[in-house]
Structure 1
Amino acid sequence: MDGPGLAAIAAGSIFTYAGVKGISVPQAVQSIVQGKSPADLPQTAAIGTPTSAAAAAGGSTDGGGGQIVQGGSAQATLQATAASFGWTGDQWQALAQIETHEAGFNPRAKNPSSGALGLAQALGHGNGSATAGTLGNEYGGNGLSDAQAKAANSGDAGAQALWMCNYIKSRYGDPVKAWAFWQAHHWY
Structure 2
Amino acid sequence: GTDYGVVVDPAGAQAYARGAIGAYGWGSDQFSCLVSLWNRESGWRANALNPSSGAYGIPQALPGSKMATAGADWRTNGNTQINWGLAYISARYGSPCGAWAHSQATGWY
1:1-188 pair list within 5 angstroms: 73-124=12-63, 137-141=65-69, 144=70, 148=71, 150-152=72-74, 154-188=75-109
Contact 2:89 2:95 in 1 (8 A): yes
Give TM-score scaled by structure 2 length: 0.82
Q: Which has the higher contact order (CA 8 A, sep 6+)?
A: 2
Number of residues paired by the alignment?
99
Unaligned runs of at least 5 residues, structure 2: 1-10
**Which protein is richer in helix relative to its size?**
2
Deviation track 1:126-161 (CA, whole Å, cap 9, x = no partner) reads xxxxxxxxxxx34244xx2xxx1x211x22011111
Q: Please say which structure displays the higher CA radius of gyration.
A: 1
Deviation at 1:79, TM superposition (A): 1.7
Contact 2:56 2:63 in 1 (8 A): no
Normalising by structure 1, we get a TM-score of 0.49
Runs of 4+ in 1 over 3 A off after TM superposition: none
Q: Quick check: 1:78–1:157 contact (8 Å CA) kept in 2? A: no
Query: Residue type of the partner of 2:95?
Result: D
Amino acid of the structure 2 residue aligned with 1:166: A
